Amino acid sequence: MLIKDSEITGWVDLEAKVKQFFEEMGYRAESPKMIALCGRGQKEIDVYVEDKRASVTLRILVECKWWDTSVPQETVHAFHTVMAGTGANAGFIVSKKGFQSGAREAAQSTNINLRTFEDLQGAYGNEWYRHQLNQLNEAVAGIREERALFFDQFSPLAIPNSMRFHTPEQRQRLRQFDMWSRCLISLAERERPRSFDVEGPIVTRAGPNAPWSLEYIQKAEGHKFASVREYFAVTIEASRRWATEFADFQHQVYSAFDGLPPDRQSELMTRNLLEFAEETPIRVLRECLPRDQYVDLLARLQLKAAEMLNQSGPADGQTGGSQDQTKGATSEGATQ
C-alpha cells in the first residue's frame, strides 16, 4: 500500500496523494481549501479533511512542505495558530525532508503531528486497510446474493430461477458469470493480502477480469497486482462491474422471456420444474455420501432426466439439445 516518498514528484503531487489517501479511507477531502479563522480573516489549507461519520464532525488540516530542507520550529508555531483559529481536531505537517529538533519540540503536547508521507500512511495503515476490506466485502456480498439465486444450484441441473435463460447462448453467458463470480470471491477471501504493508507484487491464481474479456484470455493462469492498493482498487471495481453487468444481462434475458408466447413460457416452466423435481430429493444426500458416490448418483439422475426431457420433446428448437446440455452440466459438476 505504501507510496514511497521517493515516488512523489513535487508539492502538487504530494497534496494530491494526501487527499487521495484520506478519501480511500472514506473521509471527505478538499485540496486546496480556504477556511475562516475565528475573527481573523481566512487561510488557505493544502488539504482539508472531514469525517462526517463521527458523532461530531471530525476536521483535520494538512500542510504539505515539499522543501529541500527540514521544517523549522517557526512553521509549527504558525500552524498552531491556524489550528487554534479553526477549531480543527487534528493537524498534520507532511514534509519531504523531515523536521528540525526545534519543530518536534514545538509540536509536543499539541494536536499537531509531524510526518513524512510514508509515516502518514503507516500511522493510518490499519484504518485504510479496514475501509478497503469493508468496501470489497460489501461488493462481494452482492455477488453472493446472486449466486444463491442462480449459481449455487446451477450445476449440474437447472433450477426455476434459471428458467428464463432458455437459449444455449444465454446459458453459456450465465456459466461465464458463474465462473467470474467464483474468481472474484476467491480473490476477496483466499488470495487477498492480509495487511496494508504487504510488499508487492501480489500474485494470485484467480484474476478479476470477465471470462469474455481479452485481459482474461491473456492472464488466464493468474494475475499480478503491483501493490495492495492496486489489488483493492482493481478487485473492488471488478466486483461492482460484475453486479452491474449481471443486472443488465438479467434484465435483457427477462425482457426477452416475457416477450415469448404464453404456451412457450409454459413449456419452459414445465421443463424446468421437471428437472428441479428430479434434482431436489437427492440434495439431502450430499452430506451423507462420499463425494465419488454422490457425483455418480448425480450422473445417473441426469441421464434419467435427459431421457424424460427427450420424451417430452425438445424445448429449445434443436433435437437432442436438452440432452447435450445435461451431459455438459454433468461434466462440469463432476470436476468441481
Residue pair 59/43 in contact by the 8 Å Cβ criterion: no
Whether residue 330 has pLDDT greater than 60: no
pLDDT at 299 > cutoff 90? no
| pLDDT the model gives residue 158 | 43
pLDDT band at 73 (very low <50, low <70, confident <90, very high): very high
pLDDT given for residue 291 in this prediction: 82
Q: What is the mean pLDDT of residues 313-328?
A: 41
Written out in words, the top-level CATH class of the domain with range 5-115 is alpha beta
Residue 300: predicted pLDDT: 78
Sign of the dihedral defined by the CA atoms of residues 180, 183, 188, 194, in that order = negative
Question: Strand pairing of 202-204 and 223-225?
Answer: antiparallel
**What is residue 154's predicted lDDT score, i.e. its pLDDT?**
45
Considering only residues 332 and 291, tell me which one the structure prediction assigns the higher pLDDT.
291
pLDDT at 2 exceeding the cut of 50: yes
Average pLDDT over residues 279-290: 70
pLDDT, position 283? 65
Q: How many CB atoms lie within 10 A of CB 7?
A: 11
Q: 299 or 302: whose pLDDT is higher?
A: 299
What is the pLDDT at residue 318? 42
pLDDT of residue 214: 83
Q: Would you tell me how many other CB atoms lie within 10 Å of the CB of residue 205? A: 12
Express as a percent the part of the chain with pLDDT over 70. 83
70 close to 103: Cβ distance less than 8 angstroms: yes
Question: pLDDT tens digits for 132-182?
Answer: 999 999 999 999 988 877 876 544 434 556 778 888 899 889 889 999 999
Check residue 69 and give its pLDDT: 94
Above 60 in pLDDT, residue 121?
Answer: yes
Beta-carbon neighbour count of residue 87 at 10 Å?
Answer: 9
Q: Choose the weakest-confidence range: 171-185, 215-229, 312-326.
A: 312-326
Sheet (strand 90-95) strand order = 28-30, 47-51, 58-65, 90-95, 112-115
Percent of the chain with pLDDT over 90: 56
Model confidence pLDDT, tens digit, residues 33-70: 999 888 778 899 999 999 988 888 899 999 999 999 99
Please give the mean pLDDT across all residues of the chain.
84
pLDDT, residue 159, reads 55
Across residues 117-143, what is the average pLDDT?
95
pLDDT at residue 266 in the model? 87
Contact predicate 1/227, CB 8 Å: yes
Mean pLDDT within 228-236: 95
Q: What residues pair up with 36 in beta bridges, in sequence order?
A: 42
Instruction: Please determine, for residue 326, whether its predicted confidence score (pLDDT) is greater than 50.
Output: no
Beta bridge partners of 62: 47, 92
- Domain ranges for the chain, please list them: 5-115, 125-145+162-259, 260-336
For 97-119, letters b (16+ CB in 10 Å) and e give ebbbeebeebbeeeebbbbbbbb
C-beta of residue 38 within 8 angstroms of C-beta of residue 85? yes
C-alpha angle 82-90-72 in degrees, rounded to nearest 5: 55
Residues 6+ apart with CB under 8 A from 284: none
Bigger pLDDT: 312 or 271? Answer: 271
